[in-house]
């Protein structure tokens, strides 16, 4: 079971690495989407532009959240578990 958990942890970390590279590669787009979201409050955007800005912010929020979750559980599965002592009863 430990080999499976470690392998699964590696797969999770590889997925997180791909998401991190995607995020880093699209940093200009992320900033553009954040500024587009802030532009909602100026009142100069149409309804379709508001929908697009909200959709982009939702996408990046899920993207960052999923990256954090994959990193957390990937490291958790790879880390060596301490052995518990069994007491005779």
Concatenating the DSSP letter of every residue in 28-80 gives HHHHHHHHHHHGGGGT-S-HHHHHHHHHHHHHHHHHHHHHHHHHHHHHHHHSP
pTM of the model: 0.81
Q: Where are the domains of the chain?
A: 26-78
How confident is the prediction along the chain (89 residues), in pLDDT tens digits per residue? 578 888 999 999 999 999 999 999 999 999 999 999 999 999 888 999 999 999 999 999 999 999 999 999 999 988 876 666 666 65
For 87, phi then psi, to 5°, come to -100, 140
Longest pairwise C-alpha distance within the chain: 74
């Amino acid at each position: 079971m430990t080999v499976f958990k470690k392998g699964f942890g590696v797969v999770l970390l590889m997925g997180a690495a791909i998401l991190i590279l995607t995020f880093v590669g699209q940093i200009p787009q992320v900033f553009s989407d954040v500024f587009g979201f802030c532009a909602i409050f100026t009142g100069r955007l149409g309804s379709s532009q508001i929908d697009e800005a909200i959709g982009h912010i939702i996408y990046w929020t899920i993207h960052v959240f999923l990256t954090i979750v994959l990193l957390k559980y990937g490291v958790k599965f790879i880390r060596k578990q301490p052995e518990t002592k069994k007491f005779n009863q």
